[in-house]
């Protein structure tokens, strides 16, 4: 079983739409959670960390559900510039290893 | 500016040659990582290091070697034993302290075997 699983998509949505991605993780000892964004042929960049109480950054909202072992990312009012691959990342402080999902592809259509 | 640098950006290698990819960081991070990404696939961990002069194998270490002689540097050597080395190689670093210690990535090196 993979440590982190994501729906690969692709998600094709019109501008202005709201889109949600989910990610599940297998190890209940996981401590830190992140969403990264990766543009084509570029390195991943941190989009936002995910806090236990949930957190919001502009149009982006991240939620963590420890009981069900999943995290989510909600993007409101999608922009063309949101088109990218979104990676779910989980860290277990023991050994300080990071586990990546395979990513969810988003294309925002004019 | 603090960050991670990788060089070269593009690298071409003939079969049977060893090549070394550079990774340098000035973030004062203890932990450094090497990943490989193939088209349409996720990141796979090659090696990681939590502290100078120590490193551990990741999921796909065969055919690769690393060193960590300085905190700032974590070079990766792709040896001739790596059967399918053409890929996008990403170096990352993070603070080894507890808490929300996110990873920061370098711009990557694209290796092509001719």
pLDDT one-digit tens code per residue, A41-89: 999 999 999 988 889 999 999 999 999 999 999 999 999 999 999 999 9
- Closest residue in B to A41 (Cα) is B88
Closest CB to B50 among A89, A91, A96: A96
Q: Are strands A4-6 and A19-25 parallel, antiparallel or unpaired?
A: antiparallel
Q: Is the peptide bond before B19 cis (omega within 30 degrees of 0)?
A: no
CA dihedral A91, B111, B106, A56 (to 10 degrees): -50
Contact assignment for A98 to B103 by CB distance below 8 Å: yes
Contact assignment for A44 to B102 by CB distance below 8 Å: no
Higher pLDDT, B16 or A36: A36
Q: Which residues of A77-99 are buried (b: 16+ CB within 10 A; e: fewer)?
A: ebeeebbbbbbbbbbbeeebbbb
Within 8 A of A100 by CB-CB distance, chain B residues are: 35, 42-43
pLDDT digits (tens, 9 = 90+) for A4-22: 999 888 999 999 999 999 9
Shortest distance, CA A2 to any CA of chain B (angstroms):
12
- Is the per-residue pLDDT at B99 higher than 60? no
Give CA angle at B38 (B36, B39), nearest 5°: 150
Q: At B98, is the pLDDT very low, low, confident or very high (cuts 50, 70, 90)? A: low
CA A3, CA B44: separation in Å to the nearest integer? Answer: 12
Helix H, strand E, coil C: the string for B29-40 is CCEEEEEEECCC
- Closest residue in B to A43 (Cα) is B107
Any chain B CB within 8 A of the CB of A52? no
pLDDT digits (tens, 9 = 90+) for B73-82: 999 999 988 8
Mean pLDDT, chain A, whole residue set: 92
Shortest distance, CA A49 to any CA of chain B (angstroms):
7
Give the pLDDT score at A22: 94
Q: Are strands B104-105 and B87-94 parallel, antiparallel or unpaired?
A: antiparallel
Residue of B34, B38, B37 lying closest to B58 (CA atoms) = B34
Structure letter (DSSP) for residue A3: S
Shortest distance, CA B80 to any CA of chain A (angstroms):
25
């Amino acid at each position: 079983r993979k440590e982190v699983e994501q729906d690969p998509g692709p998600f094709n949505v019109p501008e202005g739409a709201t889109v949600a991605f989910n990610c599940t993780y297998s190890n209940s000892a996981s401590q830190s959670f992140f969403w990264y964004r990766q543009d084509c042929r570029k390195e991943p960049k941190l989009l936002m960390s995910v806090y236990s109480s949930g957190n919001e950054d502009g149009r982006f909202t991240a939620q963590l559900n420890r009981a069900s072992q999943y995290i989510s990312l909600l993007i409101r009012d999608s922009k063309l510039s949101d088109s990218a691959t979104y990676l779910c990342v989980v860290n277990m402080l023991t050994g300080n290893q990071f586990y990546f999902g395979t990513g969810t592809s988003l294309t925002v259509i004019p | 500016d603090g960050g991670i640098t990788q060089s070269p950006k593009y690298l071409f290698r003939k079969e049977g040659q060893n090549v070394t990819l550079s990774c340098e960081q000035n973030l004062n991070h203890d932990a450094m990582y090497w990943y490989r990404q193939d088209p349409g696939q996720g990141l796979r961990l090659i090696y990681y290091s939590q502290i100078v002069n120590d490193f551990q194998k990741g999921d796909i270490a065969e055919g690769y070697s690393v060193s960590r002689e300085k905190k700032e540097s974590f070079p990766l050597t792709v040896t001739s034993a790596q059967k399918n080395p053409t890929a996008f190689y990403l170096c990352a670093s993070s603070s080894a302290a507890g808490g929300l210690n996110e990873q920061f990535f370098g711009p990557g090196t694209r290796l092509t075997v001719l």
